[in-house]
Structure 1
Amino acid sequence: MTRRYYHKGPVTLRGTQVPRTTTDQRLLDDAGPADWVHSDPWRVMRIQAEFVEGFGALAEIGPAVAVFGSARTAADHPYYAWGERVGRALVQAGYAVITGGGPGVMEAANKGAAQAGGTSVGLGIELPFETGLNDHVDLGVNFRYFFVRKTMFVKYSEGFVVLPGGVGTLDELFEAVTLIQTGKVTNFPIVLLGEDYWSPLLGWLTSTLLAEGMISPGDLDLLRVTDDVDEAVRWVREHREQRVPPEHRDV
């Protein structure tokens, strides 16, 4: 029987040593009338250390694209095959591939990138029932805090390719849209792979959010959807070519 293991920063815990709560949960929960006074200032140091570690590990990976998608996708599912193709195509286009480092679509993208001889990056997160980084990650960083990890995705990626996924994937997708909409990041392409999967969502955005005036027509133009992996990678490259002068391009 395989024992459950748990990463807490650089520390690995098993058995009875596995905590019942995550670092994020302990940070965000109400711990009592005055407990935060004694613990939160020290947490700032830990958060700072995570930023420093992440910046140091990722600063030299070169042009990179983040690939998101479900951790629940089985290896024999068509979405998994898509993930492999995306990882491979991005490396062939000159990009490193960054995922959340988990199973499913993330594993598939890392696998495709590694098999193509590229840089395969996994940014893991402390979770109650984690499996650790998948075996196809060549450069992995485990984070305690979601917000530190999210910063790394945005800072070191030139775009997102989003495959079918669940709540976590939607969180990453809409956070990226918000950052572009508010001008926090510029020239950041977001490609949705899987027309049948994403079209109902895009239809709801149009028929409800846009119709009610909750978003602007141009907000929908931030998302492009396709079933063609090569087209998805081409859109990412086109954004780079529009933004970076030819003499300064690495890809």
Structure 2
Amino acid sequence: MTGPALNVAATRVGTHALGPGRRSVVWVQGCPFRCPGCLAPEWIPDRAARHAHPAELADELLADPGVTGLTLSGGEPMTQAGGLAALVRAARGRRDLSVICFTGYRLERLRARPPAPGVTELLGLLDVLIDGRYVAGLDDGKGLRGSSNQRVHHLTPRLAGCGYDFTGGPRTAEITVDGTTALLVGVPPPGLLTAFDSAVRETRSRLLPPGTPDATPGAPGRAPLPTRPREDN
């Protein structure tokens, strides 16, 4: 199964922080939006990151046999819709999976004026779409969407009755450390980002030579301690 190669910012295999069940996540590099308060500014530039083919990425994301779903985020997934559609098809060829996707575009815009090739195909493969740009002043600390203006669309009934509260449920997040890289997975509960940044600064001061520039604060991302991934666009 082929498709356009993906420009990938980061991946996480096996998490409970971004939707119901055990999921694998792919964050793509590049976003046309610059939402004030964006927590992943390092993933906004349309620059080369990790080059990955859909079939190979599907194998990576499904390396955990307990994974029951995929979550697509970024960056802006719809700018790489063709590659992500190929990824979803490849993954579902191996296992029955639910798929959740974040986007800064409104669903109506995606259907009327797709911003990139493959958008219509990708929409047809999604179970849940969370749409709209992140608005820091509307971040109510609830649910899987980053701010209350963002909408949760059940494009299929698959996850509608699963008991997971996408809009009002408590938020969870996970922090992983790989060498000198920290990755925060999930939509952070209130206060977590402040604590995360404080811990990162303290760790950097102990691990890195004096005078090392601070890494760009951000959200869904990887950086030389920090990185704070946030699932909103």
* TM-score interval, normalised by the smaller of the two chains: 0.3 to 0.5
Greater percentage in helix: 1
With the length of structure 1 as denominator, give the TM-score of the two structures: 0.31
Larger RCO (CA under 8 A, 6+ residues apart)? 2
Larger Rg: 1
